[in-house]
């Protein structure tokens, strides 16, 4: 008997990656009835370390930020963690969707019009956001615009235990909605359990458009997104439970922001998957990367019962 042994050969290849100039990144939103929230960062080198110690240095706290609402400009001031009192810190943690303990570990800075009522989100208003700063000799000059769409039609929401389930207390959240006639509408779905979740959470794949659903009434179900850093009861991950009170939030948003967030979520979901199609991040921000979303909000509250 002849035995063949195939042996693989490896060779170390050193590749010198050229240094790339930093790029400004904007993650901004204005939600109906709420002040705008803007996070500004700069890109890092591919092999640069990212940890809690360096996280605060990524956020820009010395930029000039202007939000123009229907032609009227307003200057937005930075809100940095180290300068916030207890009440403001709790509010910032809610805006960012993280715990106060996590915020205190890094001096995150954000920009908001919390003290300027004219900047609060209003259906039909147009917003132009401009931000400029300097990073190691490189001038960042970013601009993005958005118009808040009409409030989406959320028809109903309900909790349902799958008929095939062997557990009589765990289930999914269903949402029924109606899309308006005319393609180009975009939506985002999130949820929050009252007295359990600090803020609303988005699933990967939270955004969708009406390309195949134009003018139609339809329903869909969602899994629950686990809270970061919170240990889940084994077997309950991804489900809602009898006794939960859940606020469902359906948001309409500008189509350009939808495209950028969709590509971001696709890339995040595909990370590490060698069989996934490659995804390039898109951006709606002139002069940099990121998005500016204007959200019109519709809410419903569901008490989970069998």
CA-to-CA separations, 288 to 58, 63, 178, 237, in angstroms, rounded: 15, 14, 35, 37
| pLDDT bracket for residue 71 (50, 70, 90) | very high
Residues 146, 26: contact at Cβ < 8 Å?
no
Residues 215, 142: contact at Cβ < 8 Å?
no
Residue 306, pLDDT above cutoff 70: yes
Q: In the CATH scheme, what is the code of domain 153-272+296-303?
A: 2.60.40.10
Say if 24-147 and 153-272+296-303 have the same CATH topology.
yes
pLDDT at 1: 44
Q: Which residue has the higher pLDDT, 36 or 233?
A: 36
Q: Which of 95-109, 192-206, 288-302 has the lowest mean pLDDT?
A: 95-109
Residue 103, pLDDT above cutoff 90: no
| pLDDT bracket for residue 51 (50, 70, 90) | low
Q: Is the dihedral of CA 233, 236, 242, 245 positive or negative?
A: positive
Token pair for 41? 């960062």
Q: How many CB atoms lie within 10 A of CB 205?
A: 14
- The string of pLDDT tens digits covering residues 164-186 is 988 999 999 999 999 999 999 99
Domain locations in the chain?
A: 24-147, 153-272+296-303
- Which stretches within 191-284 are classed as H helix? 255-270
Q: What percent of the chain has pLDDT over 90?
A: 59
pLDDT at 8: 56
Q: In the CATH scheme, what is the code of domain 24-147?
A: 2.60.40
Average pLDDT, the chain: 88
pLDDT at 191: 96
pTM for the structure as a whole: 0.86
- pLDDT average, residue stretch 240-266: 96
The number of residues making up the chain comes to 306
| pLDDT bracket for residue 221 (50, 70, 90) | very high
| pLDDT bracket for residue 120 (50, 70, 90) | very high
pLDDT at 278: 66
What is the rounded CA–CA span in Å between residue 242 and residue 306? 7
């Amino acid at each position: 008997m002849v035995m063949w042994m195939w042996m693989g050969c490896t060779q170390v290849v050193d590749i010198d990656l050229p240094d790339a100039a930093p790029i400004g990144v904007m993650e901004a939103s204005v939600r109906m009835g709420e002040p705008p929230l803007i996070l500004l960062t700069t890109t890092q080198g591919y092999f640069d370390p990212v940890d809690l110690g360096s996280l605060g240095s990524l956020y820009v706290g010395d930029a000039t930020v202007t939000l123009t609402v229907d032609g009227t400009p307003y200057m937005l001031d930075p809100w940095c963690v180290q300068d916030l009192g207890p009440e403001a810190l709790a509010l910032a943690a809610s805006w960012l969707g993280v715990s106060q303990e996590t915020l205190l570990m890094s001096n995150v800075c954000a920009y908001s019009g919390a003290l300027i009522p004219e900047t609060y989100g209003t259906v039909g208003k147009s917003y132009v956001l401009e931000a400029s700063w300097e990073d190691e000799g490189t001038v960042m000059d970013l601009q993005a615009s958005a118009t808040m769409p009409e409030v989406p039609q959320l028809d109903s929401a309900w909790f349902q235990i799958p008929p095939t389930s062997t557990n009589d207390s765990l289930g999914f959240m269903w949402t029924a909605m109606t899309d308006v006639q005319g393609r180009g509408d975009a939506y985002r779905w999130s949820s929050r359990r009252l007295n359990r979740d600090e803020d609303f959470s988005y699933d990967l794949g939270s955004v969708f458009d009406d390309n195949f659903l134009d003018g139609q009434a339809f329903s869909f179900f969602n899994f629950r997104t686990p809270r970061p850093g919170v240990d889940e009861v084994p077997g309950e991950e991804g489900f809602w439970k009898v006794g939960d009170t859940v606020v469902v939030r359906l948001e309409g948003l500008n189509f350009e922001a939808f495209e950028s967030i969709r590509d971001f979520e696709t890339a995040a979901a595909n990370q590490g998957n060698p069989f996934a199609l490659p995804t390039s991040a898109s951006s709606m921000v002139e002069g940099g990367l990121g998005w500016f979303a204007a959200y019109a909000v519709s809410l419903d509250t569901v008490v989970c019962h069998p």
